[in-house]
Structure 1
Amino acid sequence: MLLEGIETLLVLAKEGTMSKAGSYLYISQSAVSKRIARLEKKLGKKLIEPSGRRIKLTADAIALIDNIGPSYKEIKGLIFDQQRFQDHTIITLECSETLVAGYLGEMMGNYIKTDPYISIATHHTPVIVEKVQSGEATIGFCAGHLPPQHGLATRHLFDEPFAVISHQSLSQTPQALLVNDFQNPANANQASLLQKVGIVPLMEMDSYTAAAQLALGGVAPALVPASIVKTLKIDPAFCHHFDFLDELTRPVHLCYRQSSYQSARIRTLIETIADVVPTKA
């Protein structure tokens, strides 16, 4: 119960509201409130205060998170390491949306016929790494740069190139582009490179698919990875290459806890994904 309460506090601190924390944990808002109340009673400390529609952490809560947060993730990971993956144990594969759409559709359709006990979800790379660290996910399939000191085993598959998508012909490097969310740390290198070559981020999308479709609709050129070009079957006539793109790629990795690789089922899935993903797009 104590670990459950700490997990709820950590999620609440991140999400900001009882409702969002409940959605993240797949429990009701009242269940979140009860967990926090039990934790406060156990510790003898007030941990949260109302602040409009959001909650505010007390000084005691902030200190608790600072001291326990990193250890909690490791404890969950160590518990995960003790789990034995039997034939019917669910293997959770957390993926970048663009990668699963671009490279895994047909492969997983065939694979799941032989091992149906697999769950697939999509998240941004920082969240994927956190979930693998804590054991909430078994394998991560990540696009973009991994956070430092993640402590996971990784397999670098390839560096995925980008294209500039535009419905109109482009004779020179565009001055502005539709881009993906630069608040995502995995995309930090894109922001710095565009700044270096003097290209302005016109709009920041949370979806490369949306950026590509807007570009094809004539809104503005968009910076799009090869997996999206493949998924949407974008005509090569609308895919433009410029010199700055030679420096712009995003690394594609598999990540997992080292102990997981000892499981034959997990190892087979890792190797199958590695075999089906191209070494270059």
Structure 2
Amino acid sequence: MLDGIEALMALEKHETVSQAALSLRLTQSAVSKRLQALQIELDMKLVEPDGRRLKLTPEALQFLSKAKPLLLELKNLSINTANKSNHISHFSLALSDSIAGSFGPAVIDKTLKSFKNLKLDIHVHRSLMLLENVTLGKYQLGICTSNDARKDLASYHLVDEPLALLYAENKDKPNRNLPLITIEENSATWKSIGPSIKKEYPQLFANSVIYVESFLAVYQMTKVGLGNGLIPLGLCKELNIKKKHYRKLKVTRPISLVTRKTIAQLDIFNPFYLELKTNINNYFADIEK
């Protein structure tokens, strides 16, 4: 069945048997036989003509949505199992873009120094895409902020990162006549902090609100005086913003390590998680000094 699923995935991507065969380094006949065997085993029609190409049936697409992550996970587990004899682990880890632009690189670098044989391929995405790719098995690990619970994923809390209010033009207090500049409403961060910010600090919304797509844009717009800005505390540290130019708020955004449950069962996972959690918490403890 696994050979048939690989053939079906290749056909979905390339749309012709010839191109699917080329990608798998097989003959067209071999790919066709694998697809036929899978159709018989599943007792469902998997492909249908679409002009000169083939397209997957709705039943095949539904089947692949469930089979893809399992197949990718089996491959990843086999790689890790083969590497156990050399005590080497190799994972792909995705960071949400706001974390990659803040404390993420520093704490990952420090964590890797405690695991000489651990290798990480780093990727950066918006939180929602990150979660989707971890769910599908494209990445084994992800660090992000999100309230979007996924039943196929295990989530491990790392830190509650405080938000900070930046004062317009790097002044020593906010200009209450200016708008608030913050991350856009559809972001994972705003969904996790928005209600709390409005409840705890309604005065921030006394004027208009400018929503933008990145925290760096919030910082740049605040620096020139277009408004008072709302950014994560870690970014204040990375941008070397003086403490007198911002105020740490009570509201925090939860940062978590997400993975598939089978990955979490590997021997390397828990030591890696605990070391990562320690380093992140030490990072934020340094800001308070």
Question: What TM-score results when the alignment is normalised by the length of structure 1?
Answer: 0.68
Query: 1:143, 1:252 within 8 Å by CA — same for their partners in 2?
Result: yes
For residue 258 of structure 1, what is the aligned residue in structure 2?
261
Shift in Å, 1:212? 1.1
- Seen in structure 2, the aligned counterparts of structure 1 residues 74 and 112 have a Cα distance that, compared at 3 Å, is closer
For residue 96 of structure 1, what is the aligned residue in structure 2?
96
- For 1:144 and 1:133, the matched residues in 2 are separated by 14
- Equivalent of 1:232 in 239, 249, 252: 239
Shift in Å, 1:257? 2.2
- Seen in structure 2, the aligned counterparts of structure 1 residues 266 and 181 have a Cα distance that, compared at 3 Å, is same
| Superposition map of 1:111-260 within 5 A | 111-112=111-112, 114-115=116-117, 117-145=119-147, 147-168=148-169, 169=171, 170-171=173-174, 176-193=179-196, 197=202, 199=205, 200-205=208-213, 207-240=214-247, 245-246=249-250, 248-260=251-263
| Superposition map of 1:9-48 within 5 A | 32=14, 34=16, 43-45=46-48
- For 2:187 and 2:10, the matched residues in 1 are separated by 23
Q: Output one character per residue of 1:164-199: Cα deviation in whole Å (capped at 9) or x when no partner.
A: 212344456566322223223453244445666372
Query: 2:163, 2:230 within 8 Å by CA — same for their partners in 1?
Result: yes
For residue 53 of structure 1, what is the aligned residue in structure 2?
none
3-state SS in 2 of match to 1:132: helix
- Seen in structure 2, the aligned counterparts of structure 1 residues 258 and 177 have a Cα distance that, compared at 3 Å, is same
For residue 83 of structure 1, what is the aligned residue in structure 2?
78
- For 2:161 and 2:77, the matched residues in 1 are separated by 35
Residue identity matched to 1:181: E
For residue 278 of structure 1, what is the aligned residue in structure 2?
281
- Seen in structure 2, the aligned counterparts of structure 1 residues 269 and 223 have a Cα distance that, compared at 3 Å, is same
Query: 1:81, 1:259 within 8 Å by CA — same for their partners in 2?
Result: no
Residue identity matched to 1:91: F
- Seen in structure 2, the aligned counterparts of structure 1 residues 178 and 150 have a Cα distance that, compared at 3 Å, is farther
Q: Please, what is the CA RMSD of the aligned residues?
A: 3.8
- For 2:79 and 2:162, the matched residues in 1 are separated by 38
- Seen in structure 2, the aligned counterparts of structure 1 residues 99 and 36 have a Cα distance that, compared at 3 Å, is farther
- For 1:97 and 1:7, the matched residues in 2 are separated by 30
- For 1:183 and 1:7, the matched residues in 2 are separated by 33
- For 1:219 and 1:134, the matched residues in 2 are separated by 41
Shift in Å, 1:8? 8.1
- For 1:99 and 1:204, the matched residues in 2 are separated by 16
- For 2:258 and 2:151, the matched residues in 1 are separated by 10
Query: 1:95, 1:123 within 8 Å by CA — same for their partners in 2?
Result: yes
Structure 2 residue runs of 5 or longer lacking an equivalent are 22-31, 36-45
- For 1:185 and 1:118, the matched residues in 2 are separated by 24
Q: Output one character per residue of 1:242-276: Cα deviation in whole Å (capped at 9) or x when no partner.
A: xxx43x32111111223223433333322211110
Q: Output one character per residue of 1:8-64: Cα deviation in whole Å (capped at 9) or x when no partner.
A: 85xxxxxxxxxxxxxxxxxxxxx745479869x96443579xxxxxxxxx9x86675
- Equivalent of 1:269 in 260, 269, 272: 272
Residue identity matched to 1:72: A
Structure 1 residue runs of 5 or longer lacking an equivalent are 10-30, 49-57
Residue identity matched to 1:157: L
Query: 1:126, 1:186 within 8 Å by CA — same for their partners in 2?
Result: no
Bigger-Rg structure (1/2): 2
Q: Output one character per residue of 1:71-123: Cα deviation in whole Å (capped at 9) or x when no partner.
A: 13542465256424114452111112333454344444355452362211111
Shift in Å, 1:224? 0.1
Provide the aligned length of Structure 1 versus Structure 2. Answer: 243
3-state SS in 2 of match to 1:264: coil
Residue identity matched to 1:201: V
- For 1:73 and 1:252, the matched residues in 2 are separated by 27
Question: What TM-score results when the alignment is normalised by the length of structure 2?
Answer: 0.67
Q: Percent identity?
A: 16
Shift in Å, 1:125? 1.8
